[in-house]
C-alpha cells in the first residue's frame, strides 16, 4: 500500500524530475523488501494518498543534504552543486537512511507538503492588470484602479509581490519593476488585454493560510526549499529570488482558514481601490464546508460592491477537461459583471498562454 503510493508519486515526477523519480522507485522497492525505508516510514503505513508521504520522504532527505549533513548523497543533488548519477544514487541514499532514520521519521511525521510557487506571480500580474483596467473602464476612470490584494492559501506569501518583479517579455521589453532583484521570463504566448507599461499599484497586500511558512526564519526557508525537487534548478533559482524579495518586503500571512479571514477583510470598505481576492492551487485542499462559507461571504461582498469600491475574484486553479487537467486563470469583477477566462498555463504558472474569452 505505502510502496504503491511511492510508485504513484514517482510516476508524477516522470519527465520532470528524474532524480526524484529514481529515488522514490528505489525506496518503494526497499519498502517491499522490508529494508531501512520501512523503519524511516514507520507509523505512515496507512497515510492517505493526499498527504503525499513519498514527497515528505524526498523532502526530509533533501533537507539533510541542504543542511550539509549528507555529503555522500550531496554529490547527486544539483541544488548543492552535485550531478545525479542514477545507477549509484541508492547506494548513496542507504547510509543516510541508516544514520538518520529516527530524525527522518520524526520530520516526515511533522511535515505537510508545502510549496509556494513564485512562477504563479506572472499570470497573477497580468490578471491584476486586466482587472484594474476593466474596473476603471466600468467606473468611467481614465487611470487603472490601485489594488488591494487578498490571497487565500498564501503559504509563505511569495506571490504577494507581483508588482515588484521584473517580467522580461522580450530582449528590450521589461514590465513590472525593471529594477527588481527578481527577474522572471514568464514565457508568454499572447498578451493580457491591458496596457502593461502602466504601473500596477498595490496599496495593500495580505494573505492567510492554515499552515503559513515563515520565511524570515532559516527553518521556514529550508522547509520551502526542501520541497523543490532537487534537479529542477529553474524552480530552485526562482525560489531563491523570491525569498530575497520577501526578505526586503515582508508581507503578512495570517494563520487561519480562508472564510474566517475573508469575512473580516471584506467587511472593510475600500473606496477608490479595487479589492482582489486571489487564490492559486488551493481550492482542492479546502473542505466542502469552508468552500460553501467562502462563497457565501464573497456573495455578501459582491452585493455591496460599487463602481467606486469594486471587487474582483482572480483564481489560478486546475480544472478537469476531457483530456485531463488544465490550469485556467479566471477573472470576475463586480459590479461591472465582467466574467473572463484569461488564459491557461502550466501548474507552476510558466509558460502561460493569454487567450481571453467569456467565462460562462
Ligand atoms: C499547494 S499550496 C499553494 C500555495 C500558494 N497558493 C501557491 O500558489 O504557491 C496550498 C496552500 O493552501 C493552504 N490551505 C489549504 N486549505 C486552506 C484553508 N482552508 N484556508 C487557508 N489555507 C488553506 C495550505 O496550507 C497551502 O499552503
31-82: pLDDT as tens digits: 999 999 999 999 999 998 888 999 999 999 999 999 999 999 999 999 999 9
Q: Which atom of ligand 1 is nearest to the CA of 151?
A: 6
> Among residues 87, 62, 88, 58, which one has the least CA distance to residue 74?
62
Q: What is the mean pLDDT of the chain?
A: 96
Using H for helix, E for strand and C for coil, what is the string for 52-116?
CHHHHHHHHHHHHHHCCCCHHHHCCCHHHCCCCCHHHHHHHHHHHHHHCHHHHHHHHHHCCCCCC
Q: Which atom of ligand 1 is nearest to the CA of 208?
A: 21
Q: Is 210 in the pocket of ligand 1 (CB under 6 A)?
A: yes
Ligand 1: centre distance to CA 87 (Å): 36
pLDDT at 269 over 80: no
- CB neighbour class for 48 (10 Å; exposed up to 12, middle 13-18, buried from 19): exposed
Q: Which atom of ligand 1 is nearest to the CA of 158?
A: 9
Pick from 50, 114, 155, 223 the residue to mutate for probing ligand 1's pocket: most ligand atoms within 8 Å of its CB: 155
pLDDT computed for residue 338 by the predictor: 95
Return the residue whose CA atom lies nearest to atom 12 of ligand 1.
153
Return the residue whose CA atom lies nearest to atom 10 of ligand 1.
282
pLDDT computed for residue 118 by the predictor: 97
pLDDT at 173 over 90: yes
The pLDDT of 322-333, averaged and rounded, is: 92
Asked whether the beta carbons of 281 and 317 are under 8 A apart, the reply is yes
The pLDDT of 79-90, averaged and rounded, is: 98
pLDDT computed for residue 54 by the predictor: 97
Band of residue 112 on the pLDDT scale cut at 50, 70, 90: confident
Residue with cell 479571514: 261
pLDDT at 268 over 90: no
- CB neighbour class for 78 (10 Å; exposed up to 12, middle 13-18, buried from 19): middle
pLDDT digits 0-9 by tens, 270-322: 899 999 999 999 998 888 999 999 999 999 999 999 999 999 999 999 998 88
Amino acid at each position: 500500500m505505502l510502496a504503491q503510493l511511492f510508485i504513484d508519486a514517482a510516476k508524477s515526477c516522470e519527465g520532470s524530475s528524474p532524480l526524484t523519480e529514481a529515488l522514490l522507485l528505489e525506496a518503494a522497492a526497499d519498502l517491499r523488501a522490508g529494508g531501512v525505508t520501512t523503519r524511516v516510514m514507520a507509523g505512515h503505513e496507512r497515510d492517505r494518498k493526499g498527504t503525499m508521504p513519498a514527497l515528505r520522504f524526498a523532502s526530509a532527505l533533501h533537507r539533510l543534504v541542504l543542511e550539509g549533513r549528507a555529503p555522500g548523497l550531496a554529490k547527486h543533488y544539483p541544488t548543492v552543486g552535485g550531478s545525479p548519477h542514477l545507477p549509484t544514487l541508492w547506494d548513496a541514499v542507504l547510509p543516510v537512511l541508516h544514520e538518520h532514520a529516527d530524525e527522518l521519521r520524526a520530520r516526515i511525521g511533522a511535515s505537510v507538503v508545502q510549496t509556494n510557487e513564485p512562477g504563479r506571480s506572472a499570470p497573477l500580474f497580468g490578471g491584476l492588470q486586466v482587472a484594474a483596467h476593466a474596473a476603471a473602464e466600468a467606473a468611467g476612470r481614465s487611470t487603472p484602479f490601485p489594488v488591494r490584494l487578498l490571497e487565500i492559501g498564501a503559504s509563505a506569501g511569495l506571490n504577494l509581490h507581483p508588482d515588484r518583479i521584473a517580467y522580461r517579455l522580450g530582449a528590450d521589453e521589461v514590465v513590472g519593476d525593471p529594477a527588481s532583484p527578481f527577474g522572471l521570463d514568464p514565457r508568454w504566448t499572447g498578451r493580457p488585454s491591458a496596457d502593461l507599461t502602466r504601473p500596477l499599484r498595490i496599496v495593500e497586500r495580505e494573505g492567510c493560510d492554515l499552515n503559513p511558512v515563515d520565511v524570515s526564519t532559516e527553518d521556514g526557508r529550508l522547509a520551502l526549499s526542501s520541497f523543490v525537487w532537487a534537479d529542477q534548478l529553474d524552480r530552485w533559482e526562482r525560489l531563491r529570488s523570491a525569498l530575497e524579495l520577501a526578505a526586503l518586503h515582508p508581507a503578512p500571512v495570517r494563520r487561519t482558514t480562508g472564510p474566517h479571514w475573508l469575512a473580516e477583510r471584506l467587511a472593510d470598505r475600500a473606496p477608490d481601490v479595487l479589492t482582489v481576492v486571489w487564490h492559486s492551487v488551493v481550492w482542492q485542499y479546502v473542505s466542502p464546508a469552508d468552500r460553501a462559507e467562502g462563497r457565501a461571504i464573497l456573495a455578501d461582498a459582491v452585493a455591496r460592491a460599487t463602481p467606486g469600491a469594486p471587487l474582483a475574484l482572480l483564481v489560478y486553479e486546475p480544472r478537469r477537461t476531457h483530456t485531463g487537467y488544465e490550469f485556467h486563470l479566471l477573472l470576475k469583477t463586480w459590479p461591472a459583471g465582467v466574467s473572463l477566462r484569461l488564459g491557461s498555463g502550466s501548474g507552476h504558472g510558466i509558460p502561460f498562454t493569454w487567450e481571453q474569452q467569456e467565462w460562462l
